[in-house]
Amino acid sequence: MTTENLAVASVATKANVYFDGKCVSHSLTLADGTKKSVGVILPATLTFNTGAPEIMECVGGACEYKLAGSSEWKKSGPGEKFSVPGNSSFEIRVSESYHYICHFG
Amino acid sequence: MTTENLAVASVATKANVYFDGKCVSHSLTLADGTKKSVGVILPATLTFNTGAPEIMECVGGACEYKLAGSSEWKKSGPGEKFSVPGNSSFEIRVSESYHYICHFG
């Protein structure tokens, strides 16, 4: 079961564009002040660094990911989540666009 | 003065991806049911068709646009808007990423 709609209070109107547009997200603020983002990663293999811990929730498409220090690629599809520690990184490999919600903390 | 944040009720979590990712947007629903979207167009020249009339509001970067039936390219930058009739089209030319709010109706 994927999260198709997310109740929010406000959206930052300017997109976050990473890797020449291979990843585009919009930042969200919920009514209780919680920050999240929704985004899409187009076909590519990319490395992301985290500040805060992140939970990546797939809402469409799919990806494979590999956490720092791991040698194993794992799949994540619609309705599935994976966690990334803070001050770390992960590689992500996308062959069909991967749509996600990024939860922080 | 650009609109940096927009009060909304919900966001569709799956992005709208057009032209192989040259345009990415997320659909929004306001508390009163009004639909809008926020998106970004990366450097490209594209043609968009409208169903409902649209007002494009620039919140970052810039574009040039040409409405159907016009021969004139016009510029639109941060805080500026342009209107597109329904059931029509417009060409848009972007050399630095153009961030926008799309208002319908």
**What CATH number does the domain containing B99 carry?**
2.60.120.10
Q: What is the pLDDT of residue A64?
A: 98
- Does residue B105 register a pLDDT over 90? no
- Per residue in A39-60, pLDDT (tens digit) is 999 999 999 999 999 999 999 9
A window 29-48, beta carbon within 8 A of B: 29, 38-40, 42
- Per residue in A74-83, pLDDT (tens digit) is 999 999 999 9
Selected residue of B4, B8, B11 to mutate for chain A interface (largest A Cβ count, 10 A)? B11
CA distance B51 to B73: 22
The DSSP-derived string for B35-102 is EEEEEEE-SEEEEEE-SS-EEEEEEES-EEEEETT----EEE-TT-EEEE-TT-EEEEEESS-EEEEE
- Does residue A97 register a pLDDT over 90? yes
Q: What is the pLDDT of residue A62?
A: 98
Whether B3 is in a domain gets the answer no
All residues at 6 or more sequence positions from B91 whose CB lies less than 8 Å from its CB, including other chains: B45, B46, B47, B65, B66
In this structure, what token pair is assigned to residue A95? 């062959």
Between A23 and A105, whose confidence is greater?
A23
Q: How many angstroms separate the CA of residue A87 from the nearest CA in chain B?
A: 26
Whether B42 is in a domain gets the answer yes
Whether A2 is in a domain gets the answer no
In terms of residue numbers, what domain contains B20? 10-104
- Does residue B1 register a pLDDT over 90? no
Q: What is the pLDDT of residue A89?
A: 98
Whether A78 is in a domain gets the answer yes
What 3-state DSSP class applies to B15?
coil
CA distance A88 to A98: 21
Establish if B62 touches chain A: CB-CB under 8 angstroms: no
State how many domains chain A has: 1
- Per residue in B61-99, pLDDT (tens digit) is 999 999 999 999 999 999 999 999 999 999 999 999 999
B99/A28 CB distance under 8 A:
no
Residue B37's pLDDT band, with cuts at 50, 70 and 90, is: very high
B5/A10 CB distance under 8 A:
yes
- Per-residue pLDDT averaged across B29-40, rounded? 98
CA distances for B2 relative to B18, B47, B70, B96, B97, angstroms? 24, 25, 27, 17, 15
Whether B1 is in a domain gets the answer no
A13/B24 CB distance under 8 A:
no
The phi, psi pair for A66, rounded to 5°, reads: -140, 120
Q: What is the pLDDT of residue B2?
A: 93
A9/B8 CB distance under 8 A:
yes
Q: How many angstroms separate the CA of residue B46 from the nearest CA in chain A?
A: 16
Q: What is the pLDDT of residue A1?
A: 79
- Per residue in A16-41, pLDDT (tens digit) is 999 999 999 999 999 999 999 999 99
CA distance A4 to B13: 5
A6/B7 CB distance under 8 A:
no
B11/A10 CB distance under 8 A:
no
- Per-residue pLDDT averaged across A72-95, rounded? 98
- Per-residue pLDDT averaged across A92-97, rounded? 96
Whether B4 is in a domain gets the answer no
